[in-house]
Structure 1
Amino acid sequence: WSAQVNDLNEQLKILPKLCLLSAGFITYLASQSEDKRLSYMNKWKQLLNVDEKFDIRKFLSTESEQLVWKSQGLPSDELSMENAMVILRSQLCPFLVDPSSRATDWLKTHLKDKKVEVINQQDNNFTTQLELAVRFGKTLIVQEVDGVEPVLYPILRKDLASQGPRHVVQIGEKIIDYNPDFRIYLTTRNPTPELLPDMEAIVNEVNFTTTRAGLTGQLLATAIQHEKPELEVRKTE
């Protein structure tokens, strides 16, 4: 018992540093490639005197969560797993840069138990669908977002006003009741979207562009699943 207490006390001492590392990763590194993520994390670990073996995936998610994501169609490479973790933990609206659409398909599956609606930003009824989602607390996945429409800015900035016990937000020329259950995700297949600086401050860009390392990881996982399926079974036990 004494050893366990000492171990817990040591973990509590470094917990603020681990939280700071995790917040920095979610806020600043989700748009970066794998090599840049690794480089920055190593520098930050040294500055904070954190063990280089610290694994942010294990800190912010569990093995069972990652297995569920994989079963829902998320690629099993490290970049994709980290990105899923960011999407589900970020306080800002996630903006998925997803050329293959695999991450978007995973997100639709992951959120299927919620009131999810999928629309394109170019749809004629986009504003109407947005108003209904905000009012009734739906989850909205907006696809083909090459440039963010001005109507979204007040929502992404959460420019809410109080009217008695209610919160409202302006969408176009209308004032709409804001349901706290409302969630929005933006996605694009454009691998190099151009976000204006003011937009970069209110969304969290999450880059799913496949790199050589990511492709290697995906191919390795596929090969193991085909040649050694018992290993996959063991991982789920």
Structure 2
Amino acid sequence: MLTDDADVAAWQNEGLPADRMSTENATILTNCERWPLMVDPQLQGIKWIKTKYGEDLRVIRIGQKGYLDTMERALAAGELVLIENLEESMDPVLGPLLGRETIKKGRYIKIGDKECDFNPAFRLILHTKLANPHFQPELQAQCTLINFTVTRDGLEDQLLAAVVNMERPDLEELKVRSW
């Protein structure tokens, strides 16, 4: 209901694995209201995100030099930011951003001691490669958890899609229609 065959085909061309769970995860990620938090130990989801958004994506890691400056610029410009390789604890400075705690009629968000311009077009994607993370309850409440961990069924679907694609590339169109 939230996506169509054309979107699914485009996502798969961008590198999204060809299994039902990955398609469902991509649908949730592209439609959720809260910031998506990807649990992605095999790094399939993040590979797709980086291909899908390409140059429009600002990729940062918490603790890297100047990451807050990059975040502030992206926040003001309405850009898409991916915070990759999160650990189980989050920098408290980002709390107001995660909670979307805007001030002054929704025009600013406080990051640290600075009031930063907030462009409503700003988007944030959080990523961890931890297989079984234990995040703070507040973080889980502020985000939409999306589990990209490959399951046995998902792996079977991916392998079957790869074999079919190699053996019968003419069936690619039929595979997309079956979703």
TM-score (norm 1): 0.71
Partner of 2:77: 136
In 2, the alpha carbon distance for the partners of 1:218 and 1:126 equals 35
Tell me the residue number matched to 1:92. 34
Query: By how many angstroms is 1:85 displaced?
Result: 0.1
Question: Equivalent residue for 1:171?
Answer: 111
Q: 1:184 aligns with which of 105, 124, 130?
A: 124
Q: Given residue 153 of structure 2, which amino acid in structure 1 is its aligned partner?
A: A
Cα deviation for residue 235 of structure 1 reads 4.9
Unaligned runs of 5+ in 2: none
**1 or 2 for the larger relative contact order (CA 8 Å, sep ≥6)?**
2
The question of whether the paired residues in 1 share the 8 Å contact of 2:38 and 2:127 is answered with yes
Q: Aligned partners of 2:91 and 2:135: how far apart in 1?
A: 11
Which structure has the bigger radius of gyration?
A: 1
> What is the Cα deviation at residue 149 of structure 1?
1.5
Q: Which deviations, in whole Å up to 9, do the C-alpha atoms of 1:146-170 show, x marking residues without a partner?
A: 122112210111110126xx61110
Counterpart AA for 1:123: Q
Q: Which has the higher helix share?
A: 1
**2 CA distance for matches of 1:176 and 1:91?**
21
What aligned pairs does 1:11-160 form with structure 2 within 5 A after superposition? Answer: 59-112=1-54, 115-146=56-87, 147-160=89-102
Gaps of 5+ in 1: 1-58
Partner residue in 2 for 1:53: none
Cα shift at 1:124:
2.0
SS for the counterpart of 1:123 is coil
Alpha-carbon contact 2:8-2:176 (below 8 Å) kept: no
What's the offset of the Cα at 1:216? 0.6
RMSD: 1.6
Counterpart amino acid of residue 155 in structure 2: L
Aligned residues: 176
1:218 is aligned to 2:124: no
Q: What is the alpha-carbon distance in structure 2 between the residues aligned to residue 126 and residue 185 of structure 1?
A: 15
CA distance in 2, matches of 1:234, 1:218: 16
Describe the superposition over 1:67-113 as per-residue Cα deviations: whole angstroms up to 9, x where unpaired: 00000000010110000000001000000111121211111222236
Look up the match of 1:197: 137
SS in structure 2 at match of 1:73: coil
Identity %: 32
Q: Secondary structure at the match of 2:58?
A: strand
With the length of structure 2 as denominator, give the TM-score of the two structures.
0.92
Amino acid at match of 2:28: V
CA distance in 2, matches of 1:226, 1:215: 17
